[in-house]
Homo-oligomer: A and B are copies of this chain.
Amino acid sequence: MTARFALLGAGRIGKVHARAVSSNPGAKLVAVADAFEKPAAELAAAHGAEVRSIDAIEAAGDIDAVVICTPTDTHADLIERFARAGKAIFCEKPIDLDVARVKACLAVVRDAGATLMVGFNRRFDPHFAAVRKAIDDGTIGKVEMVTITSRDPGAPPYDYIPRSGGIFRDMTIHDFDMARFLLGEEPVFVSAHAAVLVDRKIGELGDFDSATAILETVSGRQCVISNSRRATYGYDQRIEVHGSKGMAAAENQRPVSIEIADGRGYTRPPLHDFFMTRYTEAYANEIAAFIGAMAAGGAASPGGEDGLAALMLAEAALKSVREGRRVRVDEIG
């Protein structure tokens, strides 16, 4: 049985998900909606789908699931609407920038009994997933400490920054989710530092471009996160988990892995320079997992509660920076 999809939002990430849906043998992209006609038409054509309005998709009998890739401030409304319409929902992170709004939205999802998956794509990266598997298999024993390095090749456009919710809600949120995915216990404390080191203009827009955070669980497990909007050598994405029996680490990925040796030494090419090429497999695996969850008729993972939890960690980190202290996560919301 083929899962029939509609895609809401034909932008950059929308294209990524359209491809993931189309190339999945268990799915078919039926409709595309976008506020602008041209990108919607182009993306629909490329995948043999048709352009429809959101209203039409909501009412359609030939759509089983929606993928929400519209701007963040529309996510919660769309989730509620399609939950009520009986569709399975895959929504890009975050659900909303406001914790209360997320909670209200999740209540609607719960009431409707809808399947909701949140787009924390990194959980589906084969390398990160293999680290998690090493934990689950007991290979490294009981988890003690986690290190997450996440550095972007460059900052987002200035006009995006005010809408982004700031570095913790926009960028670090992926790392907060990864920390939860790996720690095996919920973080209860957060200490964070943040600064403007890369681009003064980012500071003028009220955001930071460099941040570090420590998460601590109730038993004392610690996770360190290091973030920057600058990495001249590519998209730096590493995790390292230390347990009682050993360590599991996922290394960086590069599109071409040759080595040139000469008088200056041994040089390997830069890393992937973009999240879309870095996480190609992750996006495909993610949609496959969503389709699997739909088929199983149960909850998707990561679900709405995971989206909420990561957002609360982002809020706690921001509060920690502002107040100069360790923040309990349950102070949030």
Using a CB–CB cutoff of 8 Å, the interface residues on chain A facing chain B are 23, 126-127, 130-131, 134, 139-140, 144-145, 147, 149, 151, 189, 191-198, 210-214, 216, 219-222, 224, 226, 228, 230-233, 242, 244-251, 253, 255-270, 324-326
Contact = CB atoms under 8 A, between A and B. Distances in A.
A186 to B, nearest CB: 15
Contacts of A233: 246-247, 261-263, 265-266
A265 B267 contact: yes
Q: Which 8 A-B pairs have the closest CB atoms?
A: A195-B220, A246-B262, A233-B261, A325-B325, A324-B326, A247-B261, A191-B191, A267-B267
A233 B189 CA distance: 29
A191 to B, nearest CB: 4
Contact of A260 (B127, B189, B224, B248): B248
Interface centre among A257, A259, A324 (most CB of B within 10 A): A259
A266 B263 CA distance: 15
B189 A147 contact: no
Interface centre among A126, A149, A233, A257 (most CB of B within 10 A): A233
5 contacts: A127-B256, A230-B242, A246-B262, A266-B267, A267-B268
Contacts of A251: 257-259
Contacts of A195: 216, 219-222
Nearest to A149: B147
Given A147-B226, A195-B222, A210-B145, A268 B270 contact: no
A264 to B, nearest CB: 6
